[in-house]
């Protein structure tokens, strides 16, 4: 049995830079309303601006539904003999899904057919890993009827996921060398050009994955100073703002100059917050998190954390709300060219690590 879903949008209006991205966009457009009909708060796992850094390298789209992750693997193949799942979706700890759906996409006719599914646990225990293309392969008789997926998900199957070992981290030097190597256009499939553990570490780090994607397009990584001076490109989620000095500050000619900063809106635990990056004196920067609601507070136990580019802690890198606060902030001195990664706890919706280059 299969579940057929029809696009309400003309497929030609969903065209993407490459065919894999196009198939995934069609899948996303068809399946998101289906997921939302079951759980209204369903969403795509990562935000619009970083999806191409996934689709340029790995086939598949992930959705968050009632706290579970559904990974959809689209293909144009008309036969339903097997489901081939890229290894990244199975063996990268931060990418792992609960359910994997096989989907046939018909771009010309504007429909998507979901014809089977499996859990992560069953993939790890039943599928064959093809080392030639790094995909886990399940035959059609190993897949379950998609019309039963809501029943099984509602029962909260105790073994949706198998255990997956964390990958060894990369140093900044190792990451830079790999990105330089994999940026060469003659490498048609970067995911197969280096050992999986090294490739997986690059893919899990959103900032490095985005750098590799931009580098293969011939785009340089902008710095925060570039953004403050010339504005933020549309493909990023930041906005450049100018804050006028307060009346008290304006009494001093030295403090009367507007402050230019970067701002980003986050959704955390169902509420909206603003993360600001504010330049201070002597190459020091202030990261500040505030609730955007009038009178809104930062709840008890919230955390704002900064990490080095290779995700290491450093002294004074974390601010914790011991009680409800107006804001959480961290000040850090950064050298020109240094990268920093921010994160919050709880994690913001559709969060993907990024490197802010100073």
User: Residue 8's pLDDT is what?
Assistant: 82
Show the domains of the chain with their CATH numbers. Answer: 3-154 (3.40.1350), 172-216 (no CATH), 224-357 (no CATH)
User: Residue 314's pLDDT is what?
Assistant: 97
The owner of tokens 């689209």 is 74
User: Residue 156's pLDDT is what?
Assistant: 57
Helix (H) or strand (E) holding 331: strand 327-333
- Which residues have CB under 8 Å from 332's CB, separation 6+? 284, 285, 287, 306, 316, 317, 340
With a threshold of 0.85, does the pTM exceed it? yes
| Residue (of 282, 244, 273) closest to 358 by Cα position | 282
Helix (H) or strand (E) holding 4: strand 3-6
Question: Are the C-beta atoms of 202 and 178 separated by less than 8 Å?
Answer: yes
For residue 346, cis peptide bond before it (omega within 30 degrees of 0): yes
User: Residue 48's pLDDT is what?
Assistant: 86
User: Residue 12's pLDDT is what?
Assistant: 83
Question: Are the C-beta atoms of 146 and 101 separated by less than 8 Å?
Answer: yes
Q: Report the alpha-carbon distance of residue 234 to residue 50 in Å, rounded.
A: 12
Would you state the structure tokens that stand for residue 258, as one six-digit string?
């507007």
User: Residue 155's pLDDT is what?
Assistant: 59
Q: What is the 3-state secondary structure (H, E, C) of 107-137?
A: CCCCEEEEEEEEEHHHHHHHCEEECCCCEEE
Question: Are the C-beta atoms of 84 and 95 separated by less than 8 Å?
Answer: no
Q: Going residue by residue through the chain, which has 358 residues, state the pLDDT in tens, using 9 for 90 and above.
A: 789 998 888 888 888 889 999 999 999 999 999 999 999 999 999 888 899 999 999 999 999 999 999 999 999 999 999 999 999 999 999 999 999 999 999 998 899 999 999 999 999 999 999 999 999 999 999 999 998 888 776 555 668 999 999 999 999 999 999 999 999 999 999 999 999 999 999 999 999 999 999 999 998 888 999 999 988 887 788 999 998 766 444 444 555 678 999 999 999 999 999 999 999 998 999 999 999 999 999 999 999 999 999 999 999 999 999 999 999 999 999 999 999 999 999 999 989 999 999 9
User: Residue 353's pLDDT is what?
Assistant: 95
Q: Report the alpha-carbon distance of residue 101 to residue 149 in Å, rounded.
A: 10
Phi, psi of 287 (to 5 degrees): -100, 125
Would you state the structure tokens that stand for residue 280, as one six-digit string?
């201070």
């Amino acid at each position: 049995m299969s579940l057929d879903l029809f696009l309400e949008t003309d497929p030609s209006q969903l065209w993407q830079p490459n065919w894999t991205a196009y198939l995934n966009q069609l899948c996303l457009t068809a399946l998101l309303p289906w997921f939302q009909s079951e759980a209204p708060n369903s969403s795509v796992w990562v935000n619009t601006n970083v999806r191409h850094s996934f689709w340029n390298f790995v086939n598949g789209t992930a959705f968050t539904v009632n706290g579970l992750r559904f990974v959809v693997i689209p293909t144009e193949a008309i036969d339903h003999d097997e489901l081939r799942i890229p290894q990244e979706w199975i063996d990268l700890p931060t990418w792992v899904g609960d359910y994997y759906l096989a989907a046939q996409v018909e771009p010309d006719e504007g429909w998507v057919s979901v014809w089977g599914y499996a859990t992560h646990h069953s993939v790890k225990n039943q599928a064959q890993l093809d080392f030639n293309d790094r995909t886990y392969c399940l035959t059609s008789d190993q897949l379950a009827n998609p019309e039963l997926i809501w029943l099984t998900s509602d029962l909260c199957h105790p073994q949706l996921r198998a255990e997956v070992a964390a990958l060894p981290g990369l140093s900044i030097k190792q990451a830079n060398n790999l990105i330089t190597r994999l940026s060469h256009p003659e490498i048609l499939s970067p995911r197969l050009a280096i050992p999986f553990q090294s490739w997986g570490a690059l893919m899990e780090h959103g900032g490095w994955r985005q750098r590799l994607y931009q580098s293969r397009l011939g785009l340089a990584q902008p710095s925060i100073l570039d953004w403050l001076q010339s504005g933020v490109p549309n493909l990023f989620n930041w906005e450049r703002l100018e804050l006028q000095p307060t009346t008290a500050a304006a009494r001093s000619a030295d403090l009367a100059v507007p402050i230019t900063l970067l701002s980003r809106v986050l959704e955390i635990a169902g509420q909206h917050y603003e993360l600001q990056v504010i330049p201070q004196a002597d190459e020091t920067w202030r990261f500040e998190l505030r609730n955007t609601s009038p009178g809104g507070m930062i709840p008890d136990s919230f955390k704002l954390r900064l990490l080095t580019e290779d995700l290491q802690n450093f002294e004074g890198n974390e601010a914790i709300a011991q009680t409800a606060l107006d804001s959480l902030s961290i000040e850090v001195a950064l050298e020109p060219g240094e990268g920093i990664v921010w994160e919050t706890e709880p994690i913001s919706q559709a969060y993907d690590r990024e490197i802010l280059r100073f």
